[in-house]
Structure 1
């Protein structure tokens, strides 16, 4: 009898051991979500792993309350909590830096290996340094991730060349969307009896209507200006877009040893001449970013604003109760419907990250509806995914968001490779020189071409 009882106890013990062994084996092999398999995470899979994520701009870790409106904005803590709940055992830490000097600060960070994931507008320069992880293997091996979630051309816009590659590759995923467009005040158009801008205005249309709305407003009796544009830091991009509207371009090539600039092309020269003409219908102070202080206020005195962005237009317009008064037209496009600077920010993975699988998990999460909706509703940023068009918050500002989404899908891609490099500042300086009367348009574009080519030669 004792022998039979011992037999059954031994059999039960072996069964329990077998069950436990199967459970342990399952835990050990599941959930390699990076470049391996794409099975779901299990409890504690990411135990002890920490990734550091660098972000640029007006992000806050904690909730904040607007002292004027009383509205509360959620901090990044809600994003941190959600990511960590989806990835048991993982920790994400944020490093937030201002836009001022972000290129140099990012360079210092990535050189010293301070973060795993970077928000990186200057992706072309960093990919060429071989400090970024190519993302194609992660995308191809993750059946749960699909590039079709992004707005058209957002992925292509951030493609870059690696240090030893002859073909553009994916080193970043779209994170912050952005665009450039022409904004205008419908009330001023109505008061002057001028027809609204067409969806795709020409240079001639802009000039004609700006001229008509410069002077004493026939209704208010106040002085109005037909147009405004920044004559300082963004003026290079404004000029390039004007050239694109004439079927010109900044140049060609992407690798530094293949780039050729067209800064002294006929389209660039005539574009700068056009900006000098437009200055006659603008308030003083363009070069010092002055004269537009009343824009997006009930007392606005400017009819047309060139080279505007959604962050400075959409939410501020609605906050001032001007959401139905302001309208958006597209920047100048070439005959193929393409034009305007590709803007925004991608997120990238540091090549020296020690937790690449978890970093990839964060990158997927950062491009999900959860984070993209947070960016739109809490951080006053633009989403980069198509699903945004289904959100209630999008519907509330649809009249301004629809043309913005179009602008985001039709810029020049890939992003100008020199957009964060010295040629941008050379061209900007020469546009300023022309606007202040130091040089003629011809002299300015010729000098910009010469100095940019010399810089390129020295760099190569």
Structure 2
């Protein structure tokens, strides 16, 4: 009898164990099904087995991190990887992330060794003539759903460059990160002095008159105020060129080096440099060493007008510090056609050596989609390049961005090719010489003109 009971008990235990085992196998199969589906997706999807490597420059990070300005958690580029691979079954995207420091040399090294398929490449004008980049017009032509009018006006044309053995500008990069330069001002200081805010498109005369009025002891706070500030070193050449544009002048003409002609010693440039020298009377000391603006974007700010400002210096810091309503943005000086200012930002390109160019093109489209463009703006505070951004809720919370988008429509000063080369640095050095009294403005510009022309002729 005991044997019967034991036998029945054993049988029941075996049945329970078998059922549990079956259940576990079922769960494992279900879970494994998901993994299997992912595996199947990788091996059987439309893009099965294809892989691209994307190089990105700046403060990008693979994993989430804490923003040093806001203290908030920001998502890593892994969210881009996950979304892209979800949209492209079977594909894999990996990243090479690098800081801005030394990016030109590092990019050249990567291109030479065929390390990536897609590059973020501000210096596209320097690389396209090397025949290392893929022209994009054929991809655009065969992709009817992709429309160039999605980008903010002027952005596509601004990144057109010369290819190898070509005299015609062509599309080698799509706008990825936007950028612009503008004039910022402190509304509180204007209010304290009873001065009208800058107009949307101020003239040199307007800026000078208002800067003069607000230099001295603030009638409300009793503290010293300065009417204006501008950087007298690194970006001074671009500030000067924009002043020339405001008088219907320009830096010069041409794109290929053999066609470049400089206008550094033109009457418009001379008038602009004399204006900068004169504006020093209303500015704090230390312009040529990037000093004197330490209180800008603080509640104790003592400067009314800031020339040649960028969105990274202005928008995010202003809202983070609760000063968004206090700061105003006006456009830089424009010519009679409403154009002027430095063209800047970052396009994305396809390496000619890529073995998966169609997938690389898919990445270019993805990187310029609202998903990726919102990511770079909302997570990193970078500037999107698409028109749809003007309607995003996140942008409407920071209305200063609308003036940034406006500024992106009209720049005509090309940062590349000449802006990254010796002529730009020569002009910068001579602006400093004039600001410090080492040379007269006329002497400084003649020297910049001669040395830059000689450099082009002898390169």
TM over 0.5: yes
Query: What does residue range 394-405 of structure 1 map to in structure 2 within 5 Å?
Result: 394-398=395-399, 400-405=400-405
> 2 CA distance for matches of 1:425 and 1:99?
19
Cα distance in structure 2, aligned partners of 1:70 and 1:375: 17
Matched with 2:173 is 172
- Alignment of 1:97 onto 2:93: no
What's the offset of the Cα at 1:248?
A: 0.3
Q: Cα distance 1:109–1:79, how it changes in 2: closer, same or farther (>3 A)? A: same
Flag the 1:368–1:68 CA change in 2: closer, same or farther, 3 A: closer
Residues 47-88 of structure 1 show CA distances to partners (whole Å, capped at 9, x for unaligned) of 222211111111111111247855211110111111111112
User: In terms of mean alpha carbon deviation, does 434-443 or 245-254 score higher?
Assistant: 434-443
Aligned length: 418
Q: Which residue of 2 aligns with 1:3?
A: none
1:241 paired residue number: 242
Q: Which moved more, 1:326-335 or 1:278-287?
A: 278-287
Give secondary structure in 1 for the equivalent of 2:225.
Answer: strand
CA distance in 1, matches of 2:94, 2:320: 32
Q: Alpha-carbon deviation of 1:415?
A: 5.3
Q: Structure 1 residues 42 and 191, CA, compared in 2 at 3 Å: closer, same or farther?
A: farther
SS at match of 1:94: strand
Equivalents in 1 of 2:69, 2:394: separation in Å?
21
* Counterparts of residues 164-313 of structure 1 (less than 5 Å): 164-313=165-314
Q: CA deviation at 1:272?
A: 0.7
What is the TM-score with the length of structure 2 in the denominator? Answer: 0.89
Contact 1:44–1:88 under 8 Å retained in 2: yes
Give the drift of 1:386. Answer: 0.3
Partners of 1:70 and 1:404 in 2: CA distance: 24
Q: Cα RMSD (Å) of the superposition?
A: 1.5
Q: Alpha-carbon deviations, 1:232-254, whole Å to 9, x = none?
A: 11111101000000100011111
Name the counterpart of 2:81: 80
Q: Within 5 Å, give how 1:109-148 maps onto structure 2.
A: 109-148=110-149
Asked if the contact 2:43–2:90 (Cα under 8 Å) also holds between the matched residues in 1, the reply is no
Deviates more, 1:183-192 or 1:400-409: 400-409
* Local SS of the residue matching 2:250: coil
Is the alpha carbon distance of 1:69 and 1:372 closer, same or farther for their aligned partners in structure 2, counting shifts above 3 Å? closer
Alpha-carbon distance in structure 2 between the residues aligned to 1:184 and 1:371: 31
Conserved? CA contact 1:157–1:415, under 8 Å = no
Partner of residue 408, structure 1: 408
Does the 8 Å CA contact 1:133/1:350 hold for their aligned counterparts? yes
- Distance in 2, matches of 1:172 and 1:379, equals 22
Distance 1:447 1:133 in 2: 39
Is 2:422 the counterpart of 1:422? yes
Inter-partner Cα distance in structure 1 for 2:353 and 2:423 = 30
Q: Secondary structure at the match of 1:257?
A: helix
